[in-house]
Structure 1
Amino acid sequence: MAGPSGKAHPSPEPKLRLDKWLWQARFCKSRTLAATLVSEGHVRVNGTPVSRPGRDVSPGDVLTFPQGDHIRVVRILALGQRRGPATEAQNLYTDLDTGPGTLHLLE
């Protein structure tokens, strides 16, 4: 679609609230718990601590946050449309954790 200058506007990058993405990707059991995790400053987006649950995230962003006794590091691959089954949620991210206790298969 062309703007007043006649140049095409790039389509806006898809975005989703951080708390909603954490809930849809099944890292938190409820959106309230996801919002609390972010509000308390336990989540980093691309290495920067965030405290706003409404902060937008998009594919390519790297999230770092605690989950149980582990620190999770994941790259967002896609934004969800809903909170679906676990198999669907696993398609939303790739796990970047290389710490002890992480199983890596070599093919």
Structure 2
Amino acid sequence: MSPGTPQEPIERQRIDTWLWVARFAKTRALAVDAVKGGRVHVNGTRVKPSKEVRAGDRVEVVVGEDRHRVDVVAFSRRRGPAVEARLLYVEREEDRAERELRAEQRRLAGPVGGLPDGRKGRPTKRDRRRYEAGPGRRGHG
């Protein structure tokens, strides 16, 4: 292909590349790990990183605690901004609403951990000594 000619459209793409381009993974290596780890299904089937997806395929991706169910609609040769990445798939309204509801519940639950007596902020030296002394024992102080 010469430099001035337009590239022919992509009709299919490897799932690991598509996940990276669509910004479900920060790197191709992480996309490969997600696929190999069973966190990616295409049309309800666990796949290998070399599986090619086509427009109309249903992809289910687990990212952290979120489950994304999307329909592939387009492909890209490069990883662009998030606005462009969102044009590569369509997420059903009920799936998006469910994912946002779970995210809101996690946000309202607050951070996991914290100080035993419910205080916020950084532990004091006394807190640290009690922690290092172990359960059931009292630290000095």
TM > 0.5 fold call? yes
Give me the whole-angstrom Cα distance separating, in 1, the residues matched to 2:82 and 2:66.
19
How many aligned positions are there? 89
Q: Give 1:18-97 correspondences, 5 Å limit.
A: 18-50=15-47, 52-96=48-92, 97=95
Give me the whole-angstrom Cα distance separating, in 1, the residues matched to 2:99 and 2:26.
25
Structure 1 or 2: more strand by fraction: 1
User: What is the identity, as a one-letter code, of the residue corresponding to 1:87?
Assistant: V
Structure 1 gap segments, 5+ residues each: 1-12, 103-107
- Alpha-carbon distance change, 72 to 91 in structure 1, aligned in 2, over 3 angstroms: same
Structure scoring higher RCO (CA < 8 A, sep ≥ 6) equals 1
Which contiguous aligned blocks of 4+ residues in structure 1 show a shift greater than 4 angstroms?
none
Give me the whole-angstrom Cα distance separating, in 2, the residues matched to 1:86 and 1:58.
21
Give me the whole-angstrom Cα distance separating, in 2, the residues matched to 1:100 and 1:39.
23
Structure 2 gap segments, 5+ residues each: 1-9, 102-141
Sequence identity (%)? 42
Question: Normalising to structure 1: TM-score of the pair?
Answer: 0.77
Q: Deviations over 1:16-68 (max 9, x none)?
A: 00000000000100000000000111111011111x10100011001011112
Give me the whole-angstrom Cα distance separating, in 2, the residues matched to 1:100 and 1:41.
20
Higher-Rg structure is 2
- Alpha-carbon distance change, 100 to 27 in structure 1, aligned in 2, over 3 angstroms: closer
